[in-house]
Chain A
Amino acid sequence: MVNLNTILTIIFVPILGAFLLPFAGYLSVRLRNFLALGLVAVSFLGSLSLIPQALSQSPLSFSLHLPFINFNFSADALAVFMAMVSSLTGLIIVLYSFDYISHYQNQNEYYVMVVLFLGSMMGIIYSANLIFLYIFWEITAICSWRLIGFFRAENDVLRADKAFLVTFLGAIIMLIGFIIIYQQTGSFDLAVCKEYFLASSLPNIAVLLILAGILSKSATLPFQTWLPDAGVAPSPVTALLHAAVLVKIGVYVYARLFVATFPIAVFWHAVVPWVAAISAIIAAAAALIETDFKRIVAYSTISQIGFIFFGLSIGNEVGIVGGLLYILMHGLAKAGLFLCAGIVEQNTHTKDITRLGGLIRTMPVTAMAFLFCAFSVMGIPPFGGFFSKLMVFMGGVQSGQFLVSFVFLIGAFMTVIYLFRLFRMVFLGEAKISAKEGSRTMVFSVAMLAFLSLLAGILVMYPARFALAAVKQMLGLAQ
């Protein structure tokens, strides 16, 4: 029972604690900030403590028996891996917020929403019941709605509404998919559903409906448009939503449902990579011509999410391990890029890269951190991104889908081009706007992310081993 309590703590301490933050905020700003950090840290440390159990032969799964629906949890390696990634990036982003947000109004709401968001993210990760998955899924949507509209200008709110509506549309379609599963199996419990679909594969219509939800949350074609628009949010929010956590929900649920639980018809293993490939190429092309700092990074996210889907959907072990590693590497590096963008934006008051330049002289740490993170996203050894990209491609080639792998290769090449273009226009060349380095906490946060990106590459064997264990558990192979 100790472990059940651990999972409940991981999920509900941040969720319930979030509502204490405004009261703490009335007492003292520092108290509130550190309380917020502490709540996220609870999730992180709790997940850390679950590692040994998750890696053992019998991963945890619990159910809390309720009259109508059983509240099931499972803490297998996949869940713990994902929880570690999100809470770690979440932790750094909250730290970064201390200074970034201190200039604006509605700070209390900001912290409530961020912590609530991370708590529900833990809920999505650990729950093994479709209805609870859906509930937490939508709580994250509510939070991102408030967070995207944080600055309250008319355009901000409009785009917040757009993001909410697009993801809600996806979610409601996905809900119908869940109901189809429920109708066949008579349960929302994933373990029961898994038993039911041992021999047969999930009906294609259900796959399609659920996929709509996943793609809308992960901002993949054809639901990608809300993500670049949501760049109006404060930078820590964009980092949280677009890089580290929100868009990964879709990817995670894909892994949880279609890799770990339900067998799906073979042709999806060809269709999904193609959808992802088109999404990756189009987004990369958009990133090439865009001139708004945060929009470029946002398009880059859409493009990279395509790579993750490619890895997960290709249907062999190496690819899936690569996809999971990609979640980690991309989360760290992309959060770093967004946070760098935040520092630049806050100190120069513009997001237009044609008006920026030469910032490396006045912001050396930010520039280096940006470069490190960019290297990781590009996939340059020895940064973490290299290994994940390599494994995804190995998976693609192993499955014999050469054409789609080739398309992704072009996408990877484009990534290198647009990130170098971005770096050159913002940090190199002559200085157009003079700006000073960001505050200490903010710079420390981005440097931390850059360092972690490098570290994850050098010590790649640890996360890789973990991901491999997760994949073996998911596919039911012996370890």
Chain B
Amino acid sequence: MLSFFITTPLIVLMILNLPFRSLMKRIVFVVGLSLALIQAVLVALAIFGFWDIYSIPVSPMLRFNIGVDNLSLLLLLCNGMVVFITMLVSRSFIEEGEKRFNFTSLLLLSFAGVNGIALARDIFSLYVFIEVVSISSFILICFNKDRDAFEGAFKYIILSAIATIFMLTSIALIFLVSGDMSFEAVRAALDNSAHTSLVLMAIGLFLCGFFIKAGVVPFHGWLADAYTSASAPVSVYLAGVSTKAVGVYALIRIVVTVFGFDTPINKVLLFAGALSVVVGAIATLTQTDFKRMLAYSSISQIGYIVLALGIATPLGIAAAAFHFFNHAVFKSLLFVNAATLEIATGTREMDKLGGLAQRMPVTGVTSALACLSIAGVPPLAGFWSKLLIIIALWSSAHYNYALIAALASLLTLGYMLLLQRKVFFGSVGDHLARIKEGEWNLIICAIILAAVTVGVGVLFPFNLCKLIIR
């Protein structure tokens, strides 16, 4: 059953590319939309129904091991949700016909890839799916074929290629030690091999690869360019799920399931995480482009996830997973807001905007919610994940890191208020007096995501926490 998550999008993709292009072009949008929605609903039902089922079935149809645990479900859920949103947003940006057909095909390919990452249970297929997602992301970034987009995509390709080399080398080294690829076998082999320098090197290379893919400081150079130059729906997708899946999710998966926690690994994760948190937040403060600001804020938030992972306690991992989910929600929401703004005003320069909450009430309110959620202001979802991160840090005696995490959330609030002040809060300039709220599809996206953020935040103490803290 689980393999359907991977095979269905692939088969749909093939069918779409069979003859009858003119028919397919008409239905492609609906097909993509419903596929993503079905996945999101299925997974959400699974979460509420039988979350505790932990199964590792081996599918004979495809020759790799797949399995699902809570972490995978979380990624599957994010993937369904964000792709659904991306499809809806793309309606306003990608013109109907050939372009939208190509866009949807690429998105479906990437969709299948992310599902593969979620379900893969051996290192090599994990790697293959990471590449599937990365390659479709390259093309999506430069989908509009303008100069900036090519530059962003090119940077991403080069750095990704380096990451690929790191990962492949590391996989080769691990294969040398273990002779098998599945997570369990590799884990057993690594445990027995008593950390020779070879294994340590493999682990180091793997971590570097993931850091590049996730955009953790000091490997963050590509991220801001790629996010900013891509067209609006692609930014939503990249920020919401694509880079999170290839970088952050894979990192969590490999560290938790394969490498296991170890003092040097923890130290590296904690340090890199804290560095990202602070550098990302400070860099955000100086940005003037709406999407660039969000991109740097992503770096900072990814830092939080890595930091939480580095705590290496169950609470820390739960906090990392929870923040992962929250970030997918509120960052997608902000990119949807950015898309709405771009259509309405034709600019992303924040200095040229102001007071738009009056003209665009839904965008104004939802963006304020997202901003507060990122900053970790209760009762929104972001507060709980940050609270868990800080509690986990403090109770494992990482006092300095806890302090950094807490004070950085002040920086976060600072830049988010800056964004609010420049764009939404404040009085409307004359040149903006005729701005109207965005189209219905963008409004729906914003409302859905805002509802998730508020809902998760308010309901968390009631029962959602069961999902996160098993």
Q: Are B421 and A157 in contact (CB under 8 A)?
A: yes
Task: Please indicate the chain A residues that have their CB under 8 angstroms from the CB of B402 in the complex.
Answer: 176, 179
Q: Which of A138, A168, A180 contacts B410 (CB 8 A)?
A: A168
Q: Among B383, B403, B410, B426, which residue has the most Cβ atoms of chain A within 10 A? A: B426
CB of A152 within 8 A of CB of B426, answer yes
In the bound complex, do residue A69 and residue B461 qualify as a contact, i.e. CB atoms below 8 Å apart? Answer: yes
Contact A153 B427 (CB under 8 A): yes
Contact A135 B379 (CB under 8 A): yes
Interface size on A, residues (CB 8 A): 35
- Interface 0/1 of B403-428, CB less than 8 Å to A: 10011011001100110010001110
Knowing A69-B461, A138-B377 touch, does A168 contact B413 (C-beta < 8 A)?
Answer: yes
Rounded to whole angstroms, the CA-CA distance of A161 and B414 in the bound complex is 8
Q: Which of B111-119, B129-137, B387-395 contacts A (4 or more CB under 8 A)?
A: B387-395
List chain B residues, Cβ under 8 A from A164.
Answer: 413, 417
A172 touching B410, Cβ below 8 Å: yes
B466 within 8 A of A: yes
Interface string of A160-184 (1 = CB under 8 A from B): 1100110011001101100110110
Chain B 429-467: CB-based contact to A (< 8 A → 1; otherwise 0): 000000000000000000000000000000011110110
Considering the complex, give the chain B residue whose CB is closest to the CB of A141.
Answer: B377
Q: Is the CB of A142 within 8 A of B406?
A: no
Chain B at the A interface: SS class: helix
The reply to whether A68 and B372 contact each other, CB–CB distance below 8 Å, is no
Chain A 336-351 interface mask (CB, 8 Å, partner B; 1/0): 0000000000000000
What's the nearest-Cβ distance from chain A to residue B186, in Å?
Answer: 34
Q: Is the interface of A mostly helix, strand, loop or mixed?
A: helix
CB distance from A233 to the nearest CB of B (A): 13
How far does the Cβ of A263 sit from chain B's closest Cβ, in whole Å? 23
A161 CA to B416 CA, complexed, in Å: 10
Q: Verify if B355 is at the interface (C-beta below 8 Å from A).
A: yes
- Cβ of B403 and Cβ of A176 under 8 Å apart? yes
A139 and B394 CA atoms in complex are apart in Å by 24
- Point out the residues of chain B lying under 8 angstroms from A66, CB to CB: 461-463
In the complex, are the beta carbons of A106 and B465 less than 8 A apart? Answer: no
State how many angstroms separate the Cβ of A14 from the closest Cβ of chain B: 15
CB pair A165–B410 under 8 Å, yes or no, is yes
Interface residue B378 (Cβ < 8 Å from any Cβ of A): yes
Q: How far is the CB of B88 from chain A (nearest CB, A)?
A: 25
B421 x A172 contact (CB < 8 A) = no
B391 adjacent to A182 (CB under 8 Å): yes
> Which of A106, A164, A173 has the most CB atoms of chain B within a 10 A radius of its CB?
A164
Which size bracket describes the interface of B in this complex? 20 to 34
Report if A322 contacts B (CB, 8 A). Answer: no
Chain B residues closer than 8 Å to A161, beta-carbon distance: 417-418, 421
Q: Is A476 in the interface zone, CB < 8 Å from B? A: no
Tell me, yes or no, whether A67 is within 8 Å of chain B by CB.
Answer: yes
B469 contacts chain A at the CB level, 8 A cutoff = yes
Q: Does B358 contact A (CB under 8 A)?
A: yes
Bound CA span A131–B463, Å: 16
Residues of chain B within 8 A of A69, CB atoms compared: 461
Find out whether the CB atom of A71 lies under 8 angstroms from the CB atom of B461. yes
A179 touches B394 (CB 8 A): yes
Residues of A near B409 (CB, < 8 A) are: 172
B56 CB to nearest A CB, Å: 27
The B331-360 residues at the A interface (CB cut-off 8 A) are 355, 358
Known contacts A69-B461, A152-B427; decide if A175 and B403 are in contact (CB<8 Å). Answer: no
A71 to B460, CA, bound (A): 12
- Whether the pair B413, A165 counts as a contact (CB closer than 8 A) is yes
Closest to B394 in A: A179
With both chains docked as a complex, state the minimum distance between the C-beta of A59 and any C-beta of chain B, in angstroms.
24
Residues of B within 8 A of A154 (CB): 426-427
Q: Is the CB of A157 within 8 A of B426?
A: yes
Q: Which residue of chain B has its CB nearest to the CB of A138?
A: B378
Q: Are B421 and A173 in contact (CB under 8 A)?
A: no
Chain A residues with CB below 8 A from B372, complex form = 142
Write out the residue numbers on chain A whose beta carbons fall within 8 Å of the beta carbon of B403.
176
- Collect the chain A residues with CB atoms within 8 Å of residue B427's CB: 152-154
A149 within 8 A of B: yes
CB neighbours of A141 from chain B (8 A): 377
List B contacts of A138 (CB < 8 A): 377-379, 383
Which of the residues A139, A152, A153, A175 comes within 8 Å of B406, measured between beta carbons?
A175
Q: Determine whether the beta carbon of A68 is less than 8 Å from that of B461.
A: yes
> In the complex, what residues of A have CB within 8 A of residue B421's CB?
157-158, 161
9 contacts between A and B (CB under 8 A): A68-B461, A142-B377, A157-B421, A157-B425, A169-B410, A172-B406, A175-B387, A176-B394, A183-B394
Q: Which 3 A-B pairs have the closest CB atoms?
A: A135-B378, A68-B465, A152-B427
Besides A138-B383, A176-B394, 8 other A-B contacts (C-beta < 8 A):
A66-B461, A131-B387, A157-B425, A164-B413, A168-B375, A168-B413, A173-B406, A175-B406
